Amino acid sequence: MTSHDAENTEPVVTPIANMRSMGAAVRMSAAVLLITLIAACSPFGMFGSSTPEEPIVPAEELYSSAVGNMEANRYQSAISDLEKLERQHPYSEYNERAKVMITFANFRTRKWRETVLAADRFLALYPQSSEAPYVLFLKGSAYYQQITDTTRDQTHAEDTIDTFELLQSAHPNSRYAREVGPMLLVARDQLAGKEMSVGRYYLGNNQHAAAINRFRVVVEEHDQSSHVEEALYRLVEAYLRLGLAGEAQTAAAVLGHNYPSSEWYQRGFDLLQRQGLAPQMMAGNWLSGRA
């Protein structure tokens, strides 16, 4: 390279270096501007919290407010007070009672899922509490309120039975254990009704063995339900269709012995008579011990 060439490179190098310096400066300025804009847009400054800090309210004041709201039937406001109490004072003497009140408030506002969840939280923390029977009562009642007709899923009826049976076994002397009796009968009747619904479906589709199994469940496992009479009649019907005359006669005999004035017995009797048969107890039949 000649000295003249070297001299000609000087003006080229200098502007490139200057451009790099200027680019860095521009990038730095843009970054500073971006940070400034973000900080300006934030209501709490550049490093502030995204949510305002919740003011601490004394536990006694929150509990008192919740009680007042409960008495005035302002259940959602009461729940807000009680949840704030639990959040701000996790070791407060009021917390056990607060959880009971939350369960009750959810129940009164027909929030069944929230009632069950609140009850489970309480029972997990205070299984030996004197309030446990009441909380179990609320939990089972929440399930009970969700029971649907017998053509639909009966999970809620099963959950009702499980919860109330636990209440009765764990707290047999509780007033709540005595009060759940009628609801237990309804829930069990629903399960029997579901078996009948499925059994009728099978019978209508000539699946006689499957139908018999369903009706047998009603007779054996739900013998206090209102569906037993029909179940026995349907057994007469299904056994006759299968040509099992002895089983049909026995089912009719058990039906007549236990429900002599029943319309279902008269219908079963007529079915047998059309076949030249009559109700008769046959030894060795699974039904023979039920007469």
Which residue, of 149, 179, 209, is where some domain finishes? Answer: 179
Pair 171, 79 in one domain: yes
Angle between helix axes 112-125 and 132-144 (nearest 10 degrees) is: 160
Q: Are 84 and 57 in contact (CB under 8 A)?
A: yes
Pair 77, 169 in one domain: yes
| SS3 at position 241 | helix
Angle between helix axes 132-144 and 95-108 (nearest 10 degrees) is: 20
Domain-located, residue 54: no
Expressed as residue numbers, the domain containing 250 is 195-290
Pair 161, 221 in one domain: no
Domain-located, residue 184: no
Pair 84, 165 in one domain: yes
Domain-located, residue 46: no
What radius of gyration, in Å, describes the C-alpha atoms of the chain? 37
pLDDT of residue 38: 44
Domain-located, residue 201: yes
Confidence (pTM): 0.76
Minimal CA–CA distance to 182: which of 137, 220, 152? 137
pLDDT of residue 236: 98
Task: Quote the DSSP letter at residue 225.
Answer: S
CA dist 153 and 178 (Å) reads: 27
Helix (H) or strand (E) holding 57: none
Domain-located, residue 29: no
- Residue linked to tokens 């636990």: 166
Pair 160, 202 in one domain: no
The CATH number of residue 139's host domain is 1.25.40.10
Which residue, of 179, 204, 238, is where some domain finishes? Answer: 179
pLDDT tens figures, 277-290: 999 999 888 997 77
pLDDT of residue 47: 45
Pair 81, 161 in one domain: yes
Domain-located, residue 222: yes
- Residue linked to tokens 């058990």: 254
Pair 168, 203 in one domain: no
The CATH number of residue 251's host domain is 1.25.40
pLDDT tens figures, 132-184: 999 999 999 999 999 999 999 999 999 999 999 999 999 999 999 999 999 99
Pair 153, 231 in one domain: no
- Residue linked to tokens 């390279």: 1
Pair 161, 231 in one domain: no
Residues of the chain with pLDDT under 70: 1-52, 291
pLDDT of residue 52: 67
Pair 94, 148 in one domain: yes
Pair 127, 163 in one domain: yes
To 10 degrees, the CA torsion angle through 141, 142, 144, 149?
160
Domain-located, residue 224: yes
Q: Determine how many CB atoms are found less than 10 A away from the CB of residue 264.
A: 19
pLDDT of residue 7: 43
pLDDT of residue 204: 98
Which residue, of 139, 155, 179, is where some domain finishes? Answer: 179
Domain-located, residue 137: yes
pLDDT of residue 10: 39
Contacts of 111 (CB under 8 A, 6+ apart): none
pLDDT of residue 268: 98
How many folded domains does the chain comprise? Answer: 2
Pair 89, 169 in one domain: yes
Q: What would the 3-class secondary structure string for 140-174 be?
A: HHHHHCCCCCCCCCCHHHHHHHHHHHHHHHHCCCC
Question: Hey, what are 162's tokens?
Answer: 């499980």
